[in-house]
């Protein structure tokens, strides 16, 4: 994920990328609150975007190269 040139981190930015048709793969932390990720999951299902679940927000944050946890992230087309 860190090596991905184009990515989003966070539910809001990732949701925008899905809605714009730019997200190719979305990562969601299993320990993120369902109320936070619900709209993102629904948007991914409607758009046919693959969802990959990660173990934790901390692990997803590290994979994105940030020092805090992340509920969601995506790899996007340039």
Find the mean pLDDT for residues 20-39. 96
pLDDT at 4: 53
Find the mean pLDDT for residues 28-34. 97
pLDDT for residue 2 is more than 90: no
% of the chain exceeding 70 in pLDDT: 91
Q: CA nearest 68: which of 57, 78, 76?
A: 57
pLDDT at 7: 86
Q: What is the pLDDT of residues 40-78, one digit of tens each?
A: 999 999 999 999 999 999 999 999 999 999 999 999 986
Structural class in CATH, domain 7-76? alpha beta
All structural domains of the chain with their residue ranges: 7-76
């Amino acid at each position: 994920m860190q090596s991905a040139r184009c990515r989003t981190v966070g539910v809001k930015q990732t949701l925008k990328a899905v809605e714009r048709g730019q997200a190719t793969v979305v990562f969601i932390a299993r320990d993120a609150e369902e109320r936070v990720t619900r709209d993102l999951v629904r948007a991914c299902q409607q758009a046919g975007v693959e969802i990959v679940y990660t173990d934790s927000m901390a692990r997803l944050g590290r994979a994105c190269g940030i020092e805090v946890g992340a509920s969601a992230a995506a790899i996007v087309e340039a």
